[in-house]
Structure formats: C-alpha cells, structure tokens
C-alpha cells in the first residue's frame, strides 16, 4: 500500500505514458517532466491540506493568512492579495469570505481609498497560523523524502519556468 492508502502499481504510470507518447509524438522528456510535476503537486496539496484540516484551513487559506502575517500592518487590500498570491480576484474574495466566517480575518474599509477593502488578520488568525505552521514544518511541507541539499536545486530548476510566465 502507498501513503495515499491505494494499492501500489507494479509500474510507473508516468513512464508508461511517456513510452506510449513517444510512439506518437515528440517532446517526450517535457511531457514526462510536466506530468511528474502535476502529479507531485496533487500529492503535496493533498498532504498539506490533510495537515491543515484540523486547523480548519486549506493551503490556499493558509497562504492568505501567512501573507497577512508578513504585511506590516497585518492587512492588505484584496486586490493586492490576489496579485501576491497569484490568484484570480474571485478566488481572493472566496478565500477571505471563508477566513472571515471562521474569525481569522475581518474586512475593513481602506482608510485612504474608499473603493478598496482591506482584509486584516485577527489574533485568532495569528494563532492558527502559528499552530498550522508548526504542523507543516513537522511534515517538512510534504517534502520529507527529498534530501535537503536537493530542495534548493529543485527550486532553481523551476525558477526559469516561473520567470518566463511572469511571476517576477
């Protein structure tokens, strides 16, 4: 059995998909890499969400709270949150709605821009960030099976893709 509780396959399905792909099309290595990345993203998100569930959070809500924790005043306009989290404005609204309902943030009018709304982290939100972060660090963010020296290399390998997409 795997960590996900499913029966392990006797082969790597991504390797088999790449083999089949190569019989029809080019860019086999790229297809293999992107499929591997997408699968790892699914696995990591599931593990991180499992670690955050006892805190009433998803990874998206956790990221929003961390962003507010990092801000000088503990608050940011929703539009700026969307930019920094790199998500659509409707996603930010949904995230803040859920965080507000759970008492982790409050909405406030922007003091200098009557059109803007701020999300401000509450003391309850700060406490849940601290507790959730301790749990995520305990799982090494789902990357406990990757040697520490390889983590920087992994980030460095992915940087050109992020840069080309306009992340920074």
Instruction: Tell me if 105 sits within 8 A of 122, measured CB to CB.
Output: yes
Q: Reduced to 3 states, what is the DSSP secondary structure of residue 47?
A: helix
pLDDT for 4 equals 65
pLDDT for 139 equals 96
pLDDT digits (tens, 9 = 90+) for 44-95: 999 999 999 999 999 999 999 999 999 999 999 999 999 999 999 999 999 9
What span, in angstroms and rounded, lies between the C-alpha atoms of 84 and 67?
Answer: 8
**115: pLDDT strictly greater than 90:** no
pLDDT for 85 equals 96
What span, in angstroms and rounded, lies between the C-alpha atoms of 142 and 146?
Answer: 9
């Amino acid at each position: 059995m795997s960590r996900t509780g499913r029966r392990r396959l006797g082969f790597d399905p991504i390797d088999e998909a790449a083999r089949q792909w190569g019989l029809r099309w080019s860019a086999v290595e790229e297809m293999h890499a992107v499929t591997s990345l997408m699968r790892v993203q699914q696995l990591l998100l599931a593990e991180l969400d499992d670690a955050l569930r006892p805190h009433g959070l998803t990874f998206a809500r956790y990221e929003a709270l961390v962003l507010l924790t990092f801000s000088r005043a503990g608050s940011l306009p929703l539009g700026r949150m969307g930019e920094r989290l790199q998500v659509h404005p409707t996603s930010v609204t949904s995230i803040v709605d859920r965080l507000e309902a759970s008492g982790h943030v409050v909405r406030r009018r922007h003091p200098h821009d009557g059109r803007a709304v701020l999300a401000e982290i509450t003391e309850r939100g700060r406490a849940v960030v601290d507790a959730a972060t301790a749990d995520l660090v305990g799982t090494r963010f789902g990357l406990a099976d990757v040697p520490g020296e390889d983590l920087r290399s992994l980030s460095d390998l992915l940087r050109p893709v992020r840069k080309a997409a306009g992340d920074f």
